[in-house]
Every structure is written in C-alpha cells, then in structure tokens.
Structure 1
Amino acid sequence: MRISNLSVSCIENLSNELLYEIFDYLDGNDIFEIFSNLNYRFQYLITCSSIPFKIKFRSHTTSQLIDCCKTVIVPNRHHILSLNFEGGSLIDNFFKHCIIDSSFTRLQSVVLSNVSINRVVSLLFYLRSLPHLFSLNMSIREEEYFDLSDIYRIIFTLPSLKYNKLSLCLEYDEEDTNISIPLALNEQFSTIEYMVINHICTPDKLMSILCHTPQLHHLICETLEEIEPASTNEQSITLSNLVYIRINNCQIDFDRFEMFMKKVSSQLQVLRVKQKYDKAYLDADRWKRLIKNYIPNLQEFIYEYPGYEYNDYETTSLDTNFNQFISPFWVNKGWIFELGINNKEISFSIHPHKKKWFDVDGNTENVPIRKNTDNALTPFIPTSQLVISGCSSTEQNQTFIDDFKALFVAIQFTHLNINCEKVPIEMLIRIIQLLPNLDSLKVSCMPIMQSAWLFSIDRDLFFQTSINNKIKKVHLEKIIEIEQLNFLLFLCNYMQYFQVDCGKDMDLEPIVRHILMKTRIYIPHLTCLHLNVQSGNEEMVYNLQRLIENEKLLNKYTIKRISDNIILRWN
C-alpha cells in the first residue's frame, strides 16, 4: 500500500512542463484515454491548457472513430498539431463526422495514406482553409489513367505549405500519369521549400512542377524517366534557393540529364544520383565540365551505378573510365571513387570520403593519417576504394582473380575493404599483391586462424606480399583470437596505425601485450593502437596503463578514452 501511494505521489509531483514533454511523445487519443477524468489537475491540463495534440488514426472501428471525433477532435480542434490517417476508409469516415476548416488554427501537419483519387481534390479544398498547414504527405491509390495536374495545382495554392510529399500506389503503369501545369498570368507561386515527388516523372513534367516553386531548396525525385520525346519548349526557370537534389532512380540519358541540370542547378550544393542505364554517366570528364560550368557551388556529390555483370563491359573501356575519377579535380574535392565487387557483379560510386580515423591527439578526423618523411602524421585522402564482398566459391578463386586482375592492376586503389566471410585468406593475400598503391586496409569477418596458418598457405606469396605492400593503416573489424592479429601484423610490415574492434566482454590486456611485444621486432613503424570497445570505461584505461608500466612495454606513451574508443600512441 505504501509503495502504491509513493508511485501516485511521484506522478502528481511532476511539473506541468515535464508532463507536457511526456505528452509530446504520446498520441492525442491515448492522452485522452489515459488521463481524461483521472483527476482535476490532469483534466485541466488536457482540456484547458495550450497543449498540442498529435492524432494518428490506425485501425479504428467506425464507432471508435465517431467517438474520437466527438470527444477529442471537435472540442479540441484549436489544440491539434497533426492528423495522420492510415487508410482510405478511415479518411472517408472521418470527413463524414468532422470537417477540417479554419478553426483548426494550430494544425501544421496532415498525412493522408492510401486515399482514393476521387477524394483527393475535395480533401485539398478543405485543407486550403488551414492557416498554418506546413506539411502535407499524401499517397494516392488508383487503378486507371488519371491526371495529376489539378492535384498539384491545388497543392500549390495552400497558403503556408513548406513540405510536400506525393506518392502513388498504382496497379498499372505510371507512364499513363499526366502532369501539365502551365503558368497563368499573375499566378501566385507556391511557398513549398521541401518537395518529395514519389512517383515516375519525366524531365518535362518535373519542369512543369518546378516552375511553380521558386522557393524550393530541397528536391527528391523517386524516378526520373524519359517515356516520351523531349519537349522543344525551352522553359525558363529560376530556382535561386535550390541547394539539394536527389534522384533515386535516374533513367534518362546523360544528354537529357545535362539539359535538366543546366536549367536548375546554379546554386546547388548537394547532388545525389543513382543510375544504371547509360554508360555515358561513367564519363568523368563530362561530369567535370558540367560541375565546373553549371554547378560551381557543389559541395557534396554522390553518384551510384548499381550492380551489373562485369562481362557486360569491355575491360579496357572500364579501366579508362574509372581512372578518370581519380584525377586531381576529384581528389581535391574529397570525392572518392569506389568500386564494389560481389562475385561477378560490380558496382560503382562517387561519394565524399566518410571513413573516420583518430589522429595522434585522439581527435576524430574526416580523413585518415599518413606519416611523411619527417616522421609527422599528416592528413591523407584515399583517391579510390575497392570493396570486395565475396566470390562464388573456393573452386572459382582463380577465375575470380583472372576476371578482375586487369582492373586491380590498372586502377590505383589506395584503400581495400574486404569481407573475408566469402573470401579465403590466400585470395586476400593475392589481391593485396595486385594492389601496390594500397595505403589502408579494412578486414571484416576474418576467419579463425589455426596456430600453424603459415604452413597452410603459399608462404612465398605471403612473404613477397608482406615485403612489397606499403599499407600503413589497418582496421580489423572484429577480433576473435590472437592469431588474427599475427596474420595482419606479419602481413603489413609498414603499419603505423592499427584499429581493432573488440567485443563487450573481451580481455584487452592480452591483445595490447601481444601487439606491443610484436612491435619491437616485426612492426617498428607502428605508433598508434586504437581499440574500439563496446561499453568502454575508464577502468579499462587504468588496467592498460598498469599493464604497460608493470611490464615496461613502452617508455613514452599517452592513452585516452573517447567514448568507446581507447587510443594508445607512442614514439
């Protein structure tokens, strides 16, 4: 009895401000169901205060929806911040018992899911009366040809709209969807700043939409497709605020893409494009001209060319195209070329360098570190990355090497990220041998190594590779046992930086002892050990300090913890 009274007392003693924060995480229907008529204070808070309600209709029965409209929505319409409808039948039933009008003075966000095309226009007319509607997310279902022109035209008249997402849920080809919205004389432009076009759109239709949104600064287009001859109408457009474009599925040829970008991209800062239909997109010099002449403010460029069969392209052509992306123009911008290989499927991408390494002071840098001739650590950005996820089978190892040897030799890869779950250790060695420009290596899913692992591989190949490679930074994604360390320590004689990801309950002392003892003879260049530890704490740091001091493993060193990272460095 005493515990129960204490619990009620604690809830009652919470301030109104804290209760408002709790209410902000709850659905408005749940707030009324839980706290209505509980006591005078809570009744006052939910009926007389200015608390905003977020209402979400999921699987309400008709009677539940009617009750919600009568007891929650209508009496508190001036408190409602958002309405979210999951299903067309809910929407139809709701508007039979409640009308959205200008009395919903605080309503800022509306989500209409799976709404019938026959209801969209009438619903939008209701929404036009809302003075503070900032966000509209709508998905439309239909089974026949229809025209989106009127829908977009009404959306553009919503007086305060900042965010708009329109999706189509269709059971037929979207090619039959029409969009044509010519500008009228003295027409008032839309206030939309962030727009998601979650349906197929041609460049001409997209331009028809964009000419109504001069304040737009973010544009996401799901599919840009050329399904009709390009219009001869040279429509002028001014989008001086547009800084972000993402096209998730670009199916137009590069000539058409260039035409579109030249019209809209003068202020663009971020461009993301995924495309796999036109080899002209692999022309780095053409991209360079487009960016320098028409997108001079571009800061972030992400281009993805998803997987295709390697045999579909001539090797010599690929070598030439890929090497263009490691020229000074791309390197100076910090845009990295990446080639991915999974069996015989390859993918290609350009993206900003994202890998984070810790510098000698323990700070997180956006670039790795390289030791120069003066023995100082300086930033280094890899020009090209190779990511290998696997090969078909052990029997096909030689075939895998033969297939991709020309690419490995021709392209100056500086970073290798390899998943050894499907790549045998001996193949890892052979791949490294073919990549003389490697500066860094990341290994994941490394197999358990037998104590006599050196006798189970080609020793001449191993020793030749260990002598010739110049890998300076190594990342072992997850250590299972010490022999994995031995393999990498012996393989990478020039290692300066070693990152090891450790499990939550792993004993760090044997790992650090083993690495530091090997450093004296086998890896004299190593000066930084980075342990990534789940739930790292200061006790771990203290124990490692005690180990180093007691066993005199290092003379001059520093050690610090940054979150789950323990950084040990020495001279």
Structure 2
Amino acid sequence: MSQIKRSLSFNQSSNKKTKKLQNKPNRLIISIENLSDELFYEIFEYLDGGEIHQAFSNLNHRFQQLLNSSSLLLKLQLQYTPAGKTLMNNYQPIRVNRHQIFSIYSWKPSIGSYFFSSFTAGLSLDRLESLVLETVDPSVLISILDKLKFLPRLFSLTIMHSNDLIDLTDIYRIILSLPVLKYYKFMTNKPYLSVLLSMATNEQFNTIEHLVIDHHCTFEELSMITSYTPELRRLCFMNEVESDDLKTEIILPINLSNLTHLSIRDYYKKFDEFEMFISKLHSKLKVLSFTTQSLNIAYLDSYRWEEFILKYLPQLEKFCLQYCERIDNKYKYPIYSGGPNQFFSSFWIERQWIMEAEIAGEYITHVVRPYRKRWHEYIPDKMIYSSAGFCKSTQLTLTYISSDAHDELINIHCRRVLSAAQIYHLEISDEKTFIGTLIQIIKLLPELDSLKIRSLSFDQPKSLSAEELAILCSIANTCKITKVYLEKMVGIGEVYLLMTLCPYMLYLKVGFINNINVELFLRNILEKINHERNNYLRSLCFHIPTAEDKMIKKLEKMINIEKLLLDFIIERVLDNIYLKWT
C-alpha cells in the first residue's frame, strides 16, 4: 500500500522505479538542451501538466517529442483564479494527449468544462490513477462518478464536498462498485449525513485497501460500508453521535482480517461503547489512534487501557490517544481521581508509549503516544533515555497563552494537567512569551528539567510587577531546569535572565541571534559565567547559518587569548556551533 500511496501523490514521482539522472560521461553541459531526456522527465514530475505544455510546447522538435512521449505522465491541477476565470486554457494542448494524464486535481468542475466533458464524452483516460474532486455540485459529481468504472487504472479517489443536498448513499454505492480502487476518501463539513446501505454479498466485494471516512458515520453505517471492503488494511472514520447509553446505537460485528491501522475520532462515546466496538472488530490491529472529547474521564485510566489492549489488541505496536477537554472558570469538567503518573508502569515503558499534555487557549489535550526524541537529545554523543528516563519524559506544550489574565487561567490549566501527570519538560510555542507569564508557569511546575521557548518579551503587555520580581528571586534557588532552548534571541539580556531564572542550567541552546556579533555574544556569556562563578553551565549551542571552520578557529583563538576558558572543545555540526568545557 505504501508503494501505491507514493505513486499516487500529486507532489511526488509517478514512476515506480528511481530514474538514472546522469548524463553521458565526459559530456560537457553548456546549455539546457544538453540535459538528458531522463532528467527532463524527472524535472517535469515536479510541475503541473499545463505549466509544462505552456513552457515547452512549440520550442523545437526535441521538446515536442518529449511532450508527446508515452514516458511523460502529466499531473493536472484544474482550478479557478481569484478573479473567477479558469485556467483551462493551459490544458487545451493536452486534449490530444489524454493517455498521458496520470492524476487530476479539480476544484469545482462544472457542466460544460473540459474536465466534465472528458468524462461524460468517454474520452480515453486509460492511465489516470489519481483523482481529487473538490466542492462539486451533486449532479455534476454523480455524472462524473458514473464514468469512473470505465477507468482501468483509477487507484485513488478523494472527494471534498460542502453541499447539504448530497446523497451519500448513492455516492458510496457507486464508489464501492469501482473495480480497481485502492484508496478512497470522502470529506465534508456537513454534519449528520447518512449512508444507508445493505450488507454486501460476495459478488459486491471491492479492492479498497485504505478508506478515510472524514464525515459523521455511525457504528452501524460503518459495519455496512466495510462489508464491501474485505481487503481493507487502513481505516479512518469519525463518529459524532451523542448517546446516553449503549442502547442508543447498534454495534454490529465487523470482520476485517487484513485491517492493521485504525484511526477514530469520536467526540461523545463513553469508554464502554468504544470497548464494545473494538471487541466486535475482528482484525489484527497493529496501529490504533483514538481522539475523543467525551466527558468520560475513564479514558485517562491507564490500568483500564492496559487490560483493554492486552485483551483485545495483543498485537498492537503503536498507540496514540488524545483526550480533549475545554476548561475555563465556568466550565465544569469531570474530576480525575486516579492519581498522577499512571501511564508509567512497566506496560507503558516497555512499549515506549508516554503521556504528554498540550494546552491551547481554553483547551487541554492529554496525549499518550510513542516516545519521540526531545530537542536536547540531539546533542552530539547524547544517549537516548533509559527506562528510568521515560518515567520523567512528560512534556507540556503551551500555545495561545493570554497574558492579560494569565494568573488565574494558567493556575487552573496547570493544576488540571498535574492531576494526571507530573511535568518535566515545557515547550511554549507562542511567538513571544511575556517574562512574567514564564515566571508564573515555572513556579507552578516545580519539577521541570527542560524549557523551550520561541522568544521572550520584557514589557508586553506590561512590565514585571513587584510580585513577579519577588517570585523570580524565590524560584531562582529552587528551579530544577538544566536544559534551556531559546529559539530567537533579540538581545543578550534574554539569555542573562534565563541564566538567573535557571541557575542550575547545564546546557543552553540559542537559535537565531538577530545579527548580533558572534564573538561579542560568546564573550559576554563566558564573562558572565566567570564573573558569577557559575559551576553548572558547561555546554553551549548557538545556530549560525553562515558558520564555517574559519569562524570556529577565530572563536577558539579569542577564548584562548582572553583566557575565557581553560579546557574546552568547540566544534561545528552543520549550522550549529557547540562549545563544551569543564
């Protein structure tokens, strides 16, 4: 299936084998025409078919042969300009080369357009493998779909729709009868559309291996749809029905012996309903992704998940859970009483599935997923976490933090997160973080070991209050942060403040340094370390896009002459400069 996906991607190569791009040996290339045909075909794979014909047709005999060759497969994007005029004039020359069309992306095809007439007139599109239709009128869509059964190589079909009048039953009935389709996705933002199919017979089975139902679909409807897809390997669907008990929705057995990947977005179901659905899904899942906004706090019960996975999904290799909840001063959320750090038993550590949390505005997402290396684990010679390290791997990511009333909301959010897991790593994704907000957050998360922020602001929306300055002084002696990453530095004062806020810092990484002189930047930091007799900070990394070996030698010479350090190593890895000392 992965090979099929690669070959059907609009932005990727259409050839199944890697082409040899080398020209003839000892041949001097002095003009574009000296390039080989193979190289031109490789270049064309990154261009739209209309652009290719517009740029290269009628240039000379050689390019005309290239454009007419059966080796050239075209990818077409048929869409409207902001002015409302179509770009179809680019595709007029392609009418005689329909056998070269490999994939089509069409936005709002209409009756009378070349795209529509190509299907309704039965024109030859015998090499078309991928088709994407967006915002299609229902009558036009049905007319096009009726012709798809005549395409011998249509492996991938995506439909993005926003019309209330569409009949999904007719759509699915046609799609599920296509003879060679491997990938099918239907996406719409219209809620509660129904698919009313009967159970498939043996004669109605199709070849679909990857199915994405990106619209509301009940468990009963899913049972009917998947009865047509015995070859299904990957399934993604969403269920938006709100129910009060198990009797409100019928859950039928689903037999999919080839299914290995399952992704579900279910906003209201209780854990009991989800468990019943999985118990009736006869497959050998290796990958499960589940997202919910249910108020059922049982989804954060790690022990129940352990029993559930061992009982129903013993072959599971990858697991991702996202439990989303909205929290503010007025919203009452379910109380979590299971105690923190439940997801760190041997069951979770052996599988390297860890718990994390994300806060975006008023929303908190509790996440369980496979462990991914942190930014500070890409330090040269840095070893990956041991099992003991996994127990302290929980990260909190903050986005859209309001600085106007940060005290109250941040307190609520952090207390909620800490009720489920202790936080050891913090990442703030906002473009700027007010230093007062950062101080408040660090105070609430006393076990932090690493900190990553985009940039700091000292005076927006306000200056530090006397209380915040007092907090800064009080937490400086208790802060446990040892690794800090400042992605964008405007002034050296930001680094100084972080060194004050995190006195036990061992490693400091600075990204963009805003055109500050590199020598001056490094000298100031090392002088401050020496002046304050800092015995902890022993490693620096800063990103310099223009870094080169000559710069390394210059910095090394400066450190030696000014005796800023005695025993140190300075090296360049790509665009990063690393400095370590004892």
TM-score normalized with structure 2 length: 0.80
**Structure 2, unaligned stretches of length 5 or more?**
1-28
8 Å contact from structure 1 (residues 254, 278) kept in 2:
no
- CA displacement at 1:305 relative to structure 2: 0.7
Q: Secondary structure at the match of 2:38?
A: helix
Q: Which string of whole-angstrom CA distances, capped at 9 and with x for unpartnered residues, describes residues 233-286 of structure 1?
A: 64241243422x333453333222222233448533333333223233333333
Of residues 299, 311, 318, the one that matches 2:318 is 299
Of residues 534, 538, 557, the one that matches 2:549 is 538
8 Å contact from structure 2 (residues 433, 454) kept in 1:
no
Indicate whether 1:139 and 2:160 are aligned: yes
Give the structure 2 partner of residue 482 of structure 1.
Answer: 492
8 Å contact from structure 1 (residues 202, 226) kept in 2:
no
- CA displacement at 1:197 relative to structure 2: 1.3
Q: Secondary structure at the match of 2:456?
A: coil
- CA displacement at 1:200 relative to structure 2: 1.3
Within 1, Cα distance between the matches of 2:52 and 2:546? 36
Q: Which string of whole-angstrom CA distances, capped at 9 and with x for unpartnered residues, describes residues 342-387 of structure 1?
A: 66654433344445335596157765x99xxxxxxx9666343334
- CA displacement at 1:89 relative to structure 2: 0.7
Of residues 195, 198, 206, the one that matches 1:190 is 206
Q: Secondary structure at the match of 2:578?
A: strand
Give the structure 2 partner of residue 565 of structure 1.
Answer: 576
Q: Which string of whole-angstrom CA distances, capped at 9 and with x for unpartnered residues, describes residues 164-188 of structure 1?
A: 1123465xxx42523324121x335
- CA displacement at 1:201 relative to structure 2: 0.9
Give the structure 1 partner of residue 19 of structure 2.
Answer: none
Of residues 508, 516, 540, the one that matches 1:506 is 516
Distance 1:169 1:363, change over 3 A: same
8 Å contact from structure 1 (residues 390, 422) kept in 2:
no
Give the structure 1 partner of residue 308 of structure 2.
Answer: 290
8 Å contact from structure 1 (residues 114, 169) kept in 2:
no
Q: Please give the root-mean-square deviation of Cα atoms over the aligned residues, in Å.
A: 4.0
Indicate whether 1:115 and 2:125 are aligned: no
Give the structure 2 partner of residue 554 of structure 1.
Answer: 565
8 Å contact from structure 1 (residues 465, 491) kept in 2:
yes
Output aligned runs, 1:393-432, within 5 Å: 393=403, 396=405, 399-400=408-409, 403=412, 406-407=415-416, 411-418=421-428, 424-426=434-436, 428-432=438-442
Of residues 17, 26, 51, the one that matches 1:30 is 51
Provide the aligned length of Structure 1 versus Structure 2. 544
Within 2, Cα distance between the matches of 1:464 and 1:380? 30
Of residues 221, 237, 257, the one that matches 1:221 is 237
Distance 1:158 1:12, change over 3 A: same
- CA displacement at 1:63 relative to structure 2: 11
Q: Which string of whole-angstrom CA distances, capped at 9 and with x for unpartnered residues, describes residues 57-105 of structure 1?
A: 3249999969956x523x3232221233221315765444665769533
Indicate whether 1:149 and 2:177 are aligned: no
**Structure 1, unaligned stretches of length 5 or more?**
1-7, 371-377
Within 2, Cα distance between the matches of 1:455 and 1:97? 69
Q: Secondary structure at the match of 1:436?
A: coil
Of residues 457, 460, 469, the one that matches 2:479 is 469
- CA displacement at 1:195 relative to structure 2: 1.9
8 Å contact from structure 2 (residues 235, 263) kept in 1:
yes
Q: Secondary structure at the match of 1:128?
A: helix
Distance 1:402 1:220, change over 3 A: closer
Percent of matched pairs sharing the same residue: 33
Indicate whether 1:166 and 2:186 are aligned: yes
8 Å contact from structure 2 (residues 376, 483) kept in 1:
no
Distance 1:511 1:365, change over 3 A: farther
Of residues 215, 218, 222, the one that matches 1:199 is 215
Indicate whether 1:278 and 2:300 are aligned: no
8 Å contact from structure 2 (residues 209, 233) kept in 1:
yes
Of residues 44, 52, 77, the one that matches 1:56 is 77
Within 2, Cα distance between the matches of 1:463 and 1:97? 73
Q: Secondary structure at the match of 2:228?
A: coil
8 Å contact from structure 1 (residues 309, 346) kept in 2:
no
Give the structure 1 partner of residue 255 of structure 2.
Answer: 237
Letter paired with 1:305: C
8 Å contact from structure 2 (residues 210, 234) kept in 1:
yes
Letter paired with 1:72: I
Q: Which string of whole-angstrom CA distances, capped at 9 and with x for unpartnered residues, describes residues 386-431 of structure 1?
A: 344476556x565457646755875522123347888653553354
Give the structure 2 partner of residue 375 of structure 1.
Answer: none
Within 2, Cα distance between the matches of 1:507 and 1:442? 23
- CA displacement at 1:488 relative to structure 2: 1.9
